[in-house]
Amino acid sequence: MEYELIVRGGTVVDGSGAPRFQADLAIDAGRIAEVIADQESDQASAVREIDARGLVVSPGFIDLHSHSDWVAPIVEHAAILKPFLMQGVTTFVGGNCGFSVAPVRARARQMLDESGQMLSERKFAWNWQEVSEFAAHLKRQGMALNMAQLAGHGSIRLCVMGADAGEPSPEQLREMQAMLERAMADGAVGLSTGLGYFPGMIAKPRELAAMARVAGAAGGVLTSHLRAYSTRSLFFQSEVPHNLLAVREMVEVAREASVPLQISHLIFVGRRTWPTASETLADIERAAGDGVDVAFDTFPYTCGNTTIRVIFPAWSQPRLEELLDRTDGWAQLRDGFQPLRAFIAEAVQLMWAVKPELAHLEGKFFGEIGDAMKLDPVEAYLTIARESGTRARVLNHLYSGDDDGNEEALRAAMSHRLNAFEMDTILTSRGHHNPASFGTYPRILGYYVRELGLLRLEDAIYKMTGMAAQRMHLKERGLVRKGYAADLCIFDPATIGCAADSRLPDQHPAGIQHLLVNGRALIENGKWCGDGVLAGQWLARA
Ligand SMILES: [Zn+2]
């Protein structure tokens, strides 16, 4: 039998967590046609061969926590998202943290443009409302990677309620549920929530459970950017660590709604929060043992990208721009930020300032920006917030560890059996980049697996592929199996790695020799050959 392609002589790490084995893979029509055991391989031939001797053959990596649905609908997305492919990512799940580009309503267009400005390259034509229309748009346009989509609670709420900070009326709640129900019927993989952001921060557990029940009934997942990731927050009044209370809140919502829960980017923000990692992980294990289908995800950095708005108190969110323009509002915000002064100065790095005339400050920490502007770091933060129309993007540090290698909390979360890997990165052509956009998966495989021995290679790959596909209900993805999609990352386990860090983020990884998306080559013999290749597919929920 002659195949289109044979990957010969590689060590297959199949994405299930099972021990590695030697096999050849025959590929036809974008699928794995056969997994051929070593001793039988001589009988198979192909038009093209990849020599994978000495290399690991794994499923392409799946980023189950992406915001790139805000970039995918434009033609330039292929060039912008190229760093994902260069690190072996073949699939992403968009619409996280409550903000998705579908389903939407035309009447909320302006608000969506504003709230999505930080995540997107430029404004959309919005020639879709429903998830099915969005999928049709992507299919017409073409996609560089495979993509699945979550429906965002925040986007749906904005479409139905506008900036209303109250609770939804029964009619409004029914309308929100109907939007989600349609999205699920159109193939969305679940519901995402962003409870640290407006308007998710307004939503009470009752509202979240009412929505989550719709996702669960359709066989989807609930993902949650929790209300708090640090011991103290503005959301709870309690001596119990707030990040722990935030986990418990969503576990109860998931239990009530009978829906699998994926806790998004389980980070422990700030030095005082790191010691709560073991207690939090034990709590999640207890919930899992007690019948809640719960897991979480992490990225391998002690910094993460977010909006400059994230640390502003809930009361200020609906009218933040107005407050920043008023002397009394400014003074009130400044005084309220004093407990966070040291964090803002040392641990918040400006990534995108929005205004070109402030671009020289991108990449700097707010202590440095304060020095450059001759302002206190808190004043500098408020100034950039105001000047950017509150749309600036920042990279916050001290997430589960620091740059000096104090990262017990990060490693405990990364190596935990309930953890899947993800990137949670915002990648546009503008501003200073997040190193996660360039190096996430190679860093895990090079630094945490090979150098530190924190995880077995098989377990790390499972958390990047099979586990991610299973959590997100992706059909025939994430495993090296006969009949599965030929999304393959073929890398050298001795050299894979990436040096990208928060100061010098745009460094490409080493060690990836071949990359296939649905059988089409984007990297060959270590060289990028994917310009203009749109091999990605829309993935509806299995
Ligand atoms: Zn998030």
Tell me how far the alpha carbon of residue 475 lies from the centroid of ligand 1, in angstroms: 25
Beta strands in 29-160 (DSSP E): 31-37, 45-51, 56-59, 61-63, 89-94, 146-152
Distance of CA 315 to the CA centre of its chain: 27
pLDDT (average), residues 50-60? 98
Q: How many CB atoms lie within 10 A of CB 57?
A: 27
Give the span between the Cα atoms of 411 and 287, in whole angstroms: 21
59-87 tens-digit pLDDT = 999 999 999 999 999 999 999 999 999 99
Reply yes or no on whether the pLDDT at 44 is more than 90.
Answer: no
Tell me how far the alpha carbon of residue 160 lies from the centroid of ligand 1, in angstroms: 22
Give the span between the Cα atoms of 298 and 42, in whole angstroms: 42
410-421 tens-digit pLDDT = 999 999 999 999
The encoded tokens of residue 262 equal 């994926």
Question: Nearest to residue 421, comparing CAs of 301, 252, 537, 313?
Answer: 301
Tell me how far the alpha carbon of residue 521 lies from the centroid of ligand 1, in angstroms: 32
Question: In DSSP terms, which residues pair with 474 in a beta bridge?
Answer: 541
Give the span between the Cα atoms of 168 and 166, in whole angstroms: 6
473-501 tens-digit pLDDT = 999 999 999 999 999 999 999 999 999 99
Tell me how far the alpha carbon of residue 320 lies from the centroid of ligand 1, in angstroms: 20
354-401 tens-digit pLDDT = 999 999 999 999 999 999 999 999 999 999 999 999 999 999 999 999
How much is the pLDDT for 323?
97
Q: What is the mean pLDDT of the chain?
A: 96
How much is the pLDDT for 266?
98
Question: Nearest to residue 520, comparing CAs of 143, 122, 229?
Answer: 143
Tell me how far the alpha carbon of residue 412 lies from the centroid of ligand 1, in angstroms: 20
Tell me how far the alpha carbon of residue 35 lies from the centroid of ligand 1, in angstroms: 38
Question: In DSSP terms, which residues pair with 530 in a beta bridge?
Answer: none
Give the span between the Cα atoms of 254 and 268, in whole angstroms: 22
How much is the pLDDT for 41?
61
pLDDT band of residue 351 (cuts 50, 70, 90) is very high
How much is the pLDDT for 115?
86
Tell me how far the alpha carbon of residue 481 lies from the centroid of ligand 1, in angstroms: 32
What backbone phi and psi angles, to 5 degrees, belong to 40? -100, 0
174-230 tens-digit pLDDT = 999 999 999 999 999 999 999 999 999 999 999 999 999 999 999 999 999 999 999
Tell me how far the alpha carbon of residue 265 lies from the centroid of ligand 1, in angstroms: 7
In order of start, what are the domains of the chain with their CATH numbers? 2-59+484-496+507-528 (2.30.40.10), 61-302+407-434 (3.20.20.140), 307-396 (no CATH)
Reply yes or no on whether the pLDDT at 150 is more than 80.
Answer: yes
Tell me how far the alpha carbon of residue 67 lies from the centroid of ligand 1, in angstroms: 9
Give the span between the Cα atoms of 473 and 417, in whole angstroms: 19
The encoded tokens of residue 320 equal 């933040």
Tell me how far the alpha carbon of residue 66 lies from the centroid of ligand 1, in angstroms: 9
Looking up tokens 């722990």, which residue turns up?
244
How much is the pLDDT for 314?
81
Tell me how far the alpha carbon of residue 92 lies from the centroid of ligand 1, in angstroms: 15
pLDDT band of residue 268 (cuts 50, 70, 90) is very high
Tell me how far the alpha carbon of residue 423 lies from the centroid of ligand 1, in angstroms: 11
Asked if 480 contacts 488 with a C-beta cutoff of 8 angstroms, the reply is yes
pLDDT band of residue 234 (cuts 50, 70, 90) is confident
Q: How far apart are the first and last CA of the chain?
A: 31
Percent of the chain whose pLDDT exceeds 90: 94
Reply yes or no on whether the pLDDT at 43 is more than 90.
Answer: no
Tell me how far the alpha carbon of residue 189 lies from the centroid of ligand 1, in angstroms: 17
pLDDT band of residue 404 (cuts 50, 70, 90) is very high
Q: How many CB atoms lie within 10 A of CB 172?
A: 16
How much is the pLDDT for 39?
66
The encoded tokens of residue 240 equal 């119990």
Tell me how far the alpha carbon of residue 111 lies from the centroid of ligand 1, in angstroms: 19
How much is the pLDDT for 89?
98
**Counts of helices then strands in the chain (DSSP H, E):** 18, 20
Asked if 99 contacts 67 with a C-beta cutoff of 8 angstroms, the reply is yes
Tell me how far the alpha carbon of residue 401 lies from the centroid of ligand 1, in angstroms: 18
- Amino acid present at 423: M
Which ranges of 290-407 does DSSP label H, i.e. alpha helix? 320-325, 327-336, 341-347, 366-373, 377-387
pLDDT band of residue 42 (cuts 50, 70, 90) is low
User: Residue 30 region, left (φ>0) first, then alpha (ψ -120 to 50), else beta?
Assistant: left
Asked if 378 contacts 341 with a C-beta cutoff of 8 angstroms, the reply is yes
